[in-house]
Structure 1
Amino acid sequence: MAEPPKVKPKEFFILGLTSAGRPFRPSDWAERLCGVLSCYRPPGRQQSQQHLAYSPYAKPIVMNNVKCVVVDERLRDIEPMAMTFVLNFARDNDLQLLDACLLPDPEQ
């Protein structure tokens, strides 16, 4: 019997642009934010002893030459206060939020 398709978690982007379209400073804001959230991991997955490993729930990326953070909404299940912190950070700094557009995985 075939396994049911896996549902991808919902994600959203915090763009490093204010609502007026100006770049957010400091330029390393995305890495700093993800560093603060690096301790939040799925149950049973501990942070490695290596340099810095970001949480799978908050990852810095560059999209169209704009620094962004991709936030997985499962962060709310792990630690609701962390999700509140992330959303307040975006609001307090007037940053744009976008829902992620998830594309299906290519057939293997």
Structure 2
Amino acid sequence: MTQQVEQFIIHGLTKTGQRFRPSDWAERLAGVMAQFRPAGSSGGHLSYSPYVVPVNVDGVRCVVVDKRLRDLEPLAWKFVCGFAADNNLQTSERVVSPAQQSEILA
């Protein structure tokens, strides 16, 4: 059986439906979190962590956070969750297969 990947998604919309600014917020947040990687992996030059990835979902900037980050670095997990809460952003959760996770990172 293939292990499923749990994700926490931060949407670029406030709870009142307003677009979150600045427009590059997702890339900035993912850039701050770039150092958190699976053991033994190297990110190379200017790459995001596979645990915190900026994406577009239905035309809205989002950040997909792999819940394994919580075990890897609890303070980093607390930071991304706090970012969403402090900025009153919409969030959701989902479970995907490793193949779907790979598509997101491509």
Alignment partners' CA distance in 2, 1:77 and 1:102: 18
Using the size of structure 1 for normalisation, the TM-score is: 0.86
Greater CA radius of gyration, 1 or 2?
A: 1
Secondary structure of 2:91 counterpart = strand
* Unmatched tracts of structure 1, length 5 or more: none
Structure 1 or 2: more helix by fraction? 2
Partner residue, 1:95: 89
Secondary structure of 2:26 counterpart = helix
| 1:82 is the counterpart of 2:68 | no
Partner residue, 1:32: 28
* Unmatched tracts of structure 2, length 5 or more: 101-106
| 1:57 is the counterpart of 2:55 | no
Alignment partners' CA distance in 2, 1:83 and 1:18: 20
Deviations 1:17-50 (A, max 9, x none): 00000000000000000000000000000221x2
Structure 1 or 2: more strand by fraction? 2
Correspondent of 2:67 among 34, 55, 73: 73
Secondary structure of 2:75 counterpart = helix
Alignment partners' CA distance in 2, 1:77 and 1:60: 21
User: Displaced runs of 4+ in structure 1, greater than 3 A?
Assistant: 103-106
Instruction: Report how many aligned residue pairs link the two structures.
Output: 100
Alignment partners' CA distance in 2, 1:105 and 1:25: 31
- Tell me the C-alpha RMSD between the 2 structures: 1.7
Q: Would the alpha carbon gap of residues 36 and 43 (structure 1) be closer, same or farther in structure 2, given more than 3 Å must change?
A: same
Q: Would the alpha carbon gap of residues 33 and 104 (structure 1) be closer, same or farther in structure 2, given more than 3 Å must change?
A: closer
Q: Which amino acid aligns with 1:64?
A: D
Q: Which amino acid aligns with 1:75?
A: L
